[in-house]
Homo-oligomer: A and B are copies of this chain.
Amino acid sequence: MADGALSFLSPRSIAIVGASNDPTKRGYQAIRYLIADNFSGDIYPIHPREREILGLQAYPRIGDVAGDIDLALVCTPARTLPGILSELGNKGVLGAIVLAGGFGETGTEGQALEHQTLNVAHEHGVRIVGPNTSGVFNLHAAMNLVGMPNVEPGGLGIISQSGNMALSIVTQAASRGHLGFSTYVGVGNQADIQFHEFLAHLGEDPNTFVPILYVEGFKAGRAFLDVARNVTQRKPVVLYKSGRTSIGQESAKSHTGALAGSYEMSVDLLHQAGVVVARQSDHVVPIAEALSLQPPAASANVAVLADGGGHATIAADSLTENELHLPRLHQQTAAKLAEILPTAASLANPVDVAGGTDANPGVFADCAEILLQDPNVDGLLIVGLFGGYKLRFAESLGPIENETAKRLAALVKRYNKPILLQSLYTPMWTDALRILRTQGVPVQESIEIVTSCMTALVHYGHAKRRNAEHPPIPAQPIPDGADAIMATCRAEGRLSLFEHEAIELLKAYGVTMNNFVFVRSEEDLDTAVDAIDATPMVMKVVSKDILHKTEAGGVRLSLRSKETVHKAYREILENALAYKPDADIAGVLMGPMAKPGVELIIGMTRDPIYGPVMMFGIGGTLVEVLRDVSFRAIPLSRADAEEMMEQIKSGAILEGVRGAPPIDKDAVIDVMMRVSALVQAHPEIAELDLNPIFAHQVGCAVVDVRIILAEEPPDD
């Protein structure tokens, strides 16, 4: 049996609780598969009355079995589970696969039963897969407890929240003829074992080269991210996430909170952890195939080799839309290609052989080698008719194509750069295409899918390198004064820091802030003006009862004299009380007015699934309309911060538009890193918005800050 917490997934012995002589029952089918597949361990059918099932001795109760039992497949109804788990525990069984539905997914009563079952399991140290799971297989242990027939053993693992989606993956892979599977787990209700534990298990499993996950929802998203970051250092992980409707948090007090919870946020966090996210369900198997057969790409620089202009153009469009890069080829590369291709050929990238392979498809391998030798090229995409030359042109080209296929496969190993191939003859399954696939060069019919596969190789390579170079940043000690600010806020029964408190907190973490002064009464205004010593000034109301200061008429800009300051003070108080007559006004905050700049937002929210996440994007009042933001889990590395900035759609604005200079990205990244450290050190912060931040050519100014504390201080 394998080591590790879920070692029972490679069991030496299995009990089938609810075994049956009825061929339509899972308790029969499971035993039939185990026998048919020559499962090498002991099989113990458990049935109250039967003496024999499928030629095996049956036992009335688990306790009647003499030998050790590693794993139990439980096929009995939900209500029997607490009792059965107690028996399994007494027998020392390590894990139980619970097929029955009727637990948490059905309502209050089922939830109570699930809770009770879980308690019994914990008490007895039995781990549960499910309940409400479609089952488990481990084909390398000849254990198929899920009842999918004809699945070949191989290197793909599956962890799925839907049995039918796993069936889709297995069926699609089978139609390709050369892909096999290691372990499948249906997570069911994830009552006990959740995605992250299964992923950690497949991460350790030497038979699994690529874990594939179908996820509707995580229960412990942060734990998953942590495991994924670790596993993806050793092997690629492909994930499809469904349930994409944006949920947001309607009760959120910040822009960040309101924008979190989206599908796009999940994708960002998963990418950060090194996971390859398949955006289309029909790309999952091809991507897993590519990642299992080909080396990751060292950069996004991809060359395209085509035997026709149409395919070349579509491939170039598709790569560009995936933000891959078609580099200019080295001069020498073009020269070498010119020697073997006709004059009509296009020697730029994409390369179009323009008939130069019609008489001899072996020229493909010559071109491929020249392209892979180019230092500007880290991956090669071949598109068009290859593999069908014998059908399109002459039967005699078949052997040349087969030989070329072998040469292409050898090039991958020689240069350690990925080659992927699209052929319109894929449905015809010619020998050349079979050779490519079996020797490790995946073949796709669709240009979009092959592009998606190349993108996965590029993204995986990039994320693996980035995460290796940037380990998670440990929490830093809390600076002086920070805890006191929190304590004051709590003591006064507030969940929202006053803005001057938030400013002090940010300053404690090293964020450069303008010189703001909190003023409690009108007689202190003049002293404040002298202390600020800059015009124009801004004044904002400070009140725990007024969150939307501008709406309340609680903000005055462009104040240039003590006289206007006094006038503004009286107006603000008047407006605030008109807006909310019982508002408790603590005072006003005064400071120099920031020079206008590019409006950005840096925010944070504590996502119920993923924990603390940072948001960066285009700020101002239209944040939620424009939705041009990126997310990362906190703590983030500097590389993460840089990528957040590169990712936003209006990135051009950061480079300077209409003759404006580029913004000071380093200054903004510095704020992001300091906010990350602040949030990491203070789990009691629930939401945070710095919005807007005015980014300038040199430096940036945080114009408005909002920090909200959690209702209950968290445990950790």
- Which A residues have a C-beta under 8 Å from some C-beta of B? 101, 106, 160-165, 167-168, 171-172, 174-175, 214, 216, 242-245, 280-282, 307-311, 313-314, 317-318, 320-321, 344, 384-385, 388, 392, 424-425, 427-428, 445-449, 551, 621-622, 624-626, 650, 652-653, 657-659
Given A165-B310, A622-B653, list of 11 further CB < 8 A pairs?
A: A101-B344, A162-B308, A164-B309, A168-B311, A168-B424, A171-B427, A280-B448, A282-B445, A282-B446, A551-B659, A626-B626
A281, B446: Cβ atoms closer than 8 Å: yes
Contact B314 A448 (CB under 8 A): no
Bound-complex Cα distance A388 to B165 (A): 14
Residue of B nearest to A105 (CB): B344
A161 to B384, CA, bound (A): 15
Chain B proximity of A192: nearest CB distance (Å): 21
In contact, A162 and B310 (Cβ under 8 angstroms): yes
Q: Are B164 and A385 in contact (CB under 8 A)?
A: yes
| Pairwise interchain contact B243-A317, C-beta atoms closer than 8 A | yes
Interchain CB contact under 8 A, B313 and A163? no
Give the distance in Å from the alpha carbon of A446 to the alpha carbon of B447 in the complex: 15
B residues in contact with A622, CB < 8 Å: 650, 653, 657
Q: A190 to nearest B CB, angstroms?
A: 14
| A172-B445, A281-B446 known; A164-B344 Cβ under 8 A | no
Q: How many copies of this protein are present in the complex? A: 2
- Chain B CB within 10 A, most for which of A164, A280, A658: A164
Chain B residue, CB-CB nearest to A653? B625
CA distance A106 to B343 in the complex (A): 11
B164 touches A244 (CB 8 A): no
Residue among A310, A344, A425 with most chain B CB within 10 A: A310
| In the complex, residue of chain B having the shortest beta-carbon distance to the beta carbon of A165 | B310
* A320: B residues at CB distance < 8 A: 244-245
Contact of A242 among B317, B424, B428 (CB under 8 A): B317
CB distance from A622 to the nearest CB of B (A): 7
In whole angstroms, what is the CA distance A360 to B349 when docked?
55
- Name the residue on B nearest A424 (C-beta): B168
> Do A171 and B425 contact each other (CB < 8 Å), given the known contacts A245-B317, A282-B447, A317-B245?
yes
| Complex contacts, A385 vs chain B, CB 8 Å | 164, 167
Q: Is the CB of A244 within 8 A of B652?
A: no
**Which B residues are CB-close (under 8 A) to A163?**
308, 310
Residues on B with beta carbons closer than 8 Å to the beta carbon of A216: 309-310, 313
CB distance from A651 to the nearest CB of B (A): 9
Q: Could you say which of A314, A424, A428, A449 has the most chain B C-beta atoms within 10 Å of its C-beta?
A: A314
Q: A427-B172, A652-B625 are in contact. Are A162 and B449 (CB under 8 A)?
A: no
CB distance from A254 to the nearest CB of B (A): 13
A316's nearest neighbour on chain B, judged by CB, is B245
Q: Which of B171, B624, B650, B659 contacts A424 (CB 8 A)?
A: B171
Chain B residues near A168 (CB-CB < 8 A): 310-311, 424
User: How far, in angstroms, from A392 to B160 measured CA to CA in the complex?
Assistant: 19
Specify the chain B residue showing the minimal Cβ separation from A161. B310
Can you list the 10 inter-chain pairs with the closest CB atoms, starting with the nearest? A162-B310, A164-B308, A282-B446, A175-B427, A165-B310, A168-B424, A244-B317, A242-B313, A625-B653, A280-B448
